């Protein structure tokens, strides 16, 4: 049985993009623009994910609350398409499991919805290989103190991070780490694409030097073929 999703969004271009990515991921999507109709749809049948646009905060909250409160939707994932300036308290309101940050662009949506799809179960085969890891990393922004993070999932295009506390999504950040089993330092400019209710972040690399890009590509290709389930750093 195919996974089912519902999208509440008045912006047609966004709806087309989300629908196309969901189809690529093997998820059926029903698009609605009115919150009252969306609530009725949720009452009539179960959905694996409900995606709402925070452009209509009142309608988004009503739909997420309906998905959270109905027995038929207890396992439904609540997803918010949010501006980076949206406070975490608002973004992670009733029933929210994951926030995908605007601007809505194909690569950002694919990264966020792939995370949603994998939370549904029976993980979708990714177009680009990723490696489960535990790598200490440093995050920095100009004029601000460095932050420590742990990379838990790494690919050529981005990473999933675990970090204590909050981190604003409005500005790019610099990420540096050393790849396990090597002495190669990876340095990249990244932007926050999604955030889940546990505080994990999904980032997309927007600027990698030629050397870093080659080193990362070779490392991911090599480690995605190994049997070791988690690549970790050797503690010094």
Does the domain formed by 3-120 have CATH 3.30.70.270?
A: no
φ/ψ bin of 11: left (φ > 0), alpha (ψ from -120 to 50), beta (otherwise): beta
- The closest alpha carbon to 4, from 55, 43, 51, belongs to 51
φ/ψ bin of 121: left (φ > 0), alpha (ψ from -120 to 50), beta (otherwise): left
Do 3-120 and 130-232 agree at the fold level?
A: no
Distance CA 171, CA 191 (A): 7
Res 115: pLDDT: 82
Type and span of the H or E element at 189: strand 185-196
Low-confidence ranges of the chain (pLDDT < 70): 1, 71-74, 85-95, 121-128, 225-236
Domain ranges in the chain are 3-120, 130-232
Per-residue pLDDT of 56-74, as tens digits, reads 888 988 898 888 887 555 6
Residues contacting residue 149 through CB under 8 Å, at least 6 positions apart: 136, 137, 138, 139, 161, 162, 163, 175, 201
Distance CA 109, CA 14 (A): 9
Distance CA 47, CA 60 (A): 16
Res 125: pLDDT: 46
Distance CA 118, CA 120 (A): 5
Res 71: pLDDT: 53
Res 11: pLDDT: 94
Per-residue pLDDT of 132-162, as tens digits, reads 899 999 999 988 889 999 999 998 889 999 9
pTM for this prediction: 0.71
Helix/strand/coil for 95: coil
Distance CA 193, CA 203 (A): 5
Res 51: pLDDT: 94
Res 10: pLDDT: 94
Q: What is the CATH number of domain 130-232?
A: 2.40.10.220
């Amino acid at each position: 049985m195919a996974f089912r999703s519902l999208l509440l969004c008045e912006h047609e271009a966004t709806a087309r993009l989300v629908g196309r990515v969901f189809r690529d991921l093997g998820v059926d999507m029903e698009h609605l623009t009115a919150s009252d109709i969306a609530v009725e749809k949720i009452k009539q049948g179960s959905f694996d994910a409900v995606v709402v646009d925070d452009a209509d905060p009142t309608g988004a909250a009503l739909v997420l609350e309906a998905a959270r409160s109905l027995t038929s939707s207890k396992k439904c994932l609540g997803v918010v398409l949010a501006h980076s300036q949206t406070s975490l308290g608002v973004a992670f309101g009733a029933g929210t499991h994951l926030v995908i940050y605007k601007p809505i662009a194909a690569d950002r949506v694919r990264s966020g919805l792939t995370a949603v799809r994998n939370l549904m179960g029976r993980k979708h085969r990714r177009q680009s290989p990723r490696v489960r890891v535990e790598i200490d990393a440093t995050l920095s922004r100009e004029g601000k103190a460095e932050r420590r993070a742990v990379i838990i999932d790494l690919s050529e295009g981005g990473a999933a991070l675990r970090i204590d506390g909050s981190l604003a999504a409005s500005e790019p950040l610099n990420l540096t780490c050393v790849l396990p089993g090597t002495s190669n330092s990876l340095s990249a400019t990244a932007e926050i694409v999604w955030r889940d209710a546990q505080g994990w972040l999904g980032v997309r690399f927007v600027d990698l030097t030629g050397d870093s890009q080659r080193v990362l590509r070779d490392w991911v290709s090599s480690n995605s073929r190994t049997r070791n389930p988690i690549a970790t750093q050797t503690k010094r």
